[in-house]
Amino acid sequence: MKVGFIGLGIMGRPMALNLLKGGSDLTVWARRPESMTPLLEAGARGAGSAAEVAAACDVVFSMVADAADVEQVALGAAGVVEGARTGLIFVDMSTIAPAAAQDIAARLADKGVTMLDAPVSGGEVGAISGALTIMVGGDEAAFARVQPLLACMGKTATLIGGPGAGQVAKACNQILTGIGVMAVAEAFNFARKSGVDAAKVREALLGGFAYSRILENHGQRMLDRNFKPGFKAWMHQKDMNIVMQEAHRLGLMLPGSAATAQLFNAMVGSGMGEEDSVAALKLLENMSGA
């Protein structure tokens, strides 16, 4: 299959490079031409628009910021739908609302394009190492066709259900990771304000029921004061906003998610939006007078 990739940012660039390493015949496009340079140097072909990518490919992946960007890439002027042949599979790996994914999938289906929503978890580190967790919604036959490609980018790819189901799973992931990051930040801030070494606390907790990957990985980054973005705070704010919008639509009470969403709002409002979400520790320290 000839493969396309649209969106070459922090996540998209290493994901596309892993498709190249896996032997894909790859065509790429990004709104910023300089973003394509590492892919072109690695052997990919460049295109002048999303439509040009679609015209050259059997499968097109996208990794962009939000639902408006996905809609533009898929259905807008010079978008995928303008270049697609009947039978094209469009795999959007962005994180957007389930309802938005369902709407875009339905509109693409009317044009003969099959869409899979396939958001990921694992951040920049997982994207670089090809160890992402991929959650997929959509047609089972299309999923089977693209599984070898997903295997180049992720350690697992799970078909959750129909259109939008991948985005539901990603929203659940963001609830758990968002609350988890805030919980670790609260624990470390509590330890330090109590005059106790947070590193020793983490060491002890890693051996008990409080163990989590977030405590292990993100906790160490907090201790190292390493706030270089792998997953920016504004991105987590966006994802928690999706969770809360869906909760309102479904009439659900999600108290932990609501509190976490407000904390990410505070991070962005305090000028920490471009830092990693683990900078939540700094927010809590500032609020505590540290």
CA 128 from centre of chain = 13
Q: How confident is the model at residue 231 (pLDDT cuts 50, 70, 90)?
A: confident
Q: What integer pLDDT is reported at residue 230 of this predicted model?
A: 82
Residue limits of CATH 3.40.50.720 in the chain:
2-161
- Res. 263: pLDDT tops 80: yes
C-alpha span between 22 and 242 (Å, rounded): 33
- Res. 200: pLDDT tops 80: yes
- Res. 290: pLDDT tops 80: no
What ranges in 110-164 are assigned the alpha helix state H? 123-129, 140-153
Among residues 111, 170, 228, 232, the one annotated as catalytic is 170
CATH 3.40.50.720 assigned to domain 2-161? The reply is: yes
Residue 130 in tokens: 């090809």
The answer to whether the beta carbons of residues 41 and 17 sit under 8 Å apart is: no
- 170 is an active site residue: yes
| Interval 18-26 mean pLDDT | 97
Q: What integer pLDDT is reported at residue 103 of this predicted model?
A: 98
Q: What is the mean pLDDT of the chain?
A: 97
Strand positions, DSSP E, 22-69: 25-29, 45-46, 59-62
Lowest mean pLDDT among 108-112, 183-187, 227-231: 227-231
Question: Which element (helix H / strand E) includes 160?
Answer: strand 154-161
Q: What is the pLDDT of residues 28-68, one digit of tens each?
A: 999 999 999 999 999 999 999 999 999 999 999 999 999 99
Q: What is the pLDDT of residues 98-157, one digit of tens each?
A: 999 999 999 999 999 999 999 999 988 999 999 999 999 999 999 999 999 999 999 999
Residue 174 in tokens: 């963001």
Q: Which residue has the tokens 């988890």?
A: 180
Cα–Cα distances in Å, from 22 out to 62, 101, 123, 159, 238?
18, 28, 20, 21, 32
CATH 1.10.1060.10 assigned to domain 168-287? The reply is: no
| Interval 190-195 mean pLDDT | 97
DSSP state of 225: T
Q: What integer pLDDT is reported at residue 51 of this predicted model?
A: 98
Residue limits of CATH 1.10.1040.10 in the chain:
168-287
The answer to whether the beta carbons of residues 70 and 64 sit under 8 Å apart is: yes
